[in-house]
Structure 1
């Protein structure tokens, strides 16, 4: 009788807020699906802090730090997958280093800091043969509200108009407010946060944004520039709409609304019975309103998918396994490309800009 396949052994690079507050708790929920071998950070203190938290769920996890610790992870053949949860400016280079060493990588969003970096990354990745899985963590593509909302799009008929309104809450009560790398990021919180909202839009409409015309501004001096973007968007299916994002608002609101010939679909962030998530509303042609609430679960679902993918890929040593498309690096690249075009248009006082195709 064939022996049961062992769960994949993984490592985490990064020991910051998101690893401590999100990755470790979400991974703990699915701890039967993998073995957590190590958590790495640049410094010994941050690595040990994260490992102390993780040991409650993963008693055998080790801390690694510095260049020597990184080399140990790279050379450890038992570690087949690595989550890269680092500053946006260094994630691509770190991911490529791991991929070249044969590790499957789940890299946190955004996929890259610029179009130039995206092009270099995609070119480098294409040169790897065989190529391990390179996934970008974009939990919105795994949130049930968007998975189910996408199915409901058929109910509203041809799209007449789209509007996405994002009024964020990035103030000093937010744990990411003081994050130094986000403040040193070209595009600031607009790029870092905005990829989520673009991915939600692209997921629902099921096609690409082809061009944008945007105005950007910097009003709140406590935030990096810009802190606002208002953009018209043109989709390849011929429809159009608006995307408005304010980084920090006193009255946060996050909403996607798509008006069709036969009805309207709306996805809005909120809470119900003490759980945070999304309400999906379908306004039908016969003036009925149907409503569903889906609690957040996208991070857990994307982690489960990545673990499943690397387990199956590990069985097929020829790298012929086709990973889940929603996790692909190209999907993450397409989110960044839309925002990059908006930021470029904003710098040019609203001149229409074509979105780079990946």
Structure 2
């Protein structure tokens, strides 16, 4: 039987990503309701849902609509796709109502404290998962396995050149402009998730410099950081939010959950016996080219299309179903969706931003 969920939020990402990706797994999930602050935006999202064959979707808005979703016992889980400033408050309300939650990350320490308190009082286990992370992209999953073959890690590089400008649907997003860290934090956390997944360990300290060059963007819009991993290896993280000459990825189109249509995105891990590199590209469809360079000079380069959003939604629905069946007694949720993992991703970016504000001072990453 398909799991009934509600979507809280009706913005660009819901319409461009969540609804089409959920339609791919419609045998697993039914959208019972879509909620927004305003009736107009909720109705627009419901109309989009109907185009993706979700026919009987309730349109909910405002405080009354949120109350209806809380009271609806048939809705067992919610996807919170709202402005970062509002995510935690709404998520905690849903958790208190006994619903499983999939959301982004913000306000970490307060959120974790409240979640643990709610979980302790709940009759069964409650799942609070983080979405839109790269731990489910097949290219990164496979590359993590390949890194074990290149010997002791010597250097790690992460390079991002985005093209955030007025043609981008997220450019005018008010909450990102009133969000500490702006687009660097909003976009950068995805790449940190990929980094931590690849290297298989945590970032322990950072030193960074930031700058604000493009005044049409909130500060900072550039960051250059060195970081130290707990395995003893060091690396560099360089991010330009809006480059005028980013590498084209084939035809112009919107790339899933990254916010920019053309980008240079690169992870590179150099080991004693070889190198693994992941680079965003286009081979008939958007995805990642994984290049593995061996000590023998040979290179193999498989290509992996995007499917991370679909895979993480499938994992969340599977967790909800299994938790319901097992009543939480023997249930272990998918670790890649863990809210704590998301908190650790954000903590790395926050440490870099703090170091940047201190002119490169060494900052230790907060532990969760």
How far, CA to CA, are the matches of 1:138 and 1:47 in structure 2? 21
Is residue 40–residue 69 contact of structure 1 (8 Å, CA) maintained in 2? yes
- Give the structure with the larger strand fraction: 1
* Aligned residue runs from structure 1 range 236-251, under 5 A: 236-251=230-245
Is residue 210–residue 224 contact of structure 2 (8 Å, CA) maintained in 1? yes
Deviation at 1:315, TM superposition (A): 1.1
* Aligned residue runs from structure 1 range 1-358, under 5 A: 6-56=1-51, 57-107=53-103, 109=104, 111-112=105-106, 117-127=107-117, 128-129=119-120, 130=122, 131-252=125-246, 253-273=264-284, 275-318=285-328, 320-358=330-368
How far, CA to CA, are the matches of 1:174 and 1:310 in structure 2? 34
How far, CA to CA, are the matches of 1:138 and 1:78 in structure 2? 25
Is residue 27–residue 303 contact of structure 1 (8 Å, CA) maintained in 2? yes
How far, CA to CA, are the matches of 1:303 and 1:174 in structure 2? 25
1:3 matched residue in structure 2: none
Give unmatched runs, 5+ long, in structure 1: 1-5
How far, CA to CA, are the matches of 1:119 and 1:187 in structure 2? 17
Tell me: CA distance 1:248–1:89, structure 2 relative to 1, closer, same or farther (3 Å). Answer: same
Is residue 138–residue 332 contact of structure 1 (8 Å, CA) maintained in 2? no
Range with greater deviation from structure 2 (206-215 or 160-169): 160-169
- TM-score normalised over the length of structure 1: 0.95
Is residue 40–residue 65 contact of structure 1 (8 Å, CA) maintained in 2? yes
How far, CA to CA, are the matches of 2:92 and 2:110 in structure 1? 10
Deviation at 1:192, TM superposition (A): 0.3
Deviation at 1:316, TM superposition (A): 2.1
How far, CA to CA, are the matches of 2:48 and 2:144 in structure 1? 37
- TM-score normalised over the length of structure 2: 0.93
Tell me: CA distance 1:104–1:319, structure 2 relative to 1, closer, same or farther (3 Å). Answer: farther
Deviation at 1:311, TM superposition (A): 0.7
Q: Per-residue CA shift, 1:15-34, capped at 9, x if unaligned?
A: 01111111111111111111
RMSD of equivalent CA atoms: 0.9
SS at match of 1:28: helix
Is residue 132–residue 319 contact of structure 1 (8 Å, CA) maintained in 2? no
> Aligned pairs, how many?
346
How far, CA to CA, are the matches of 2:133 and 2:91 in structure 1? 19
Deviation at 1:319, TM superposition (A): 5.4
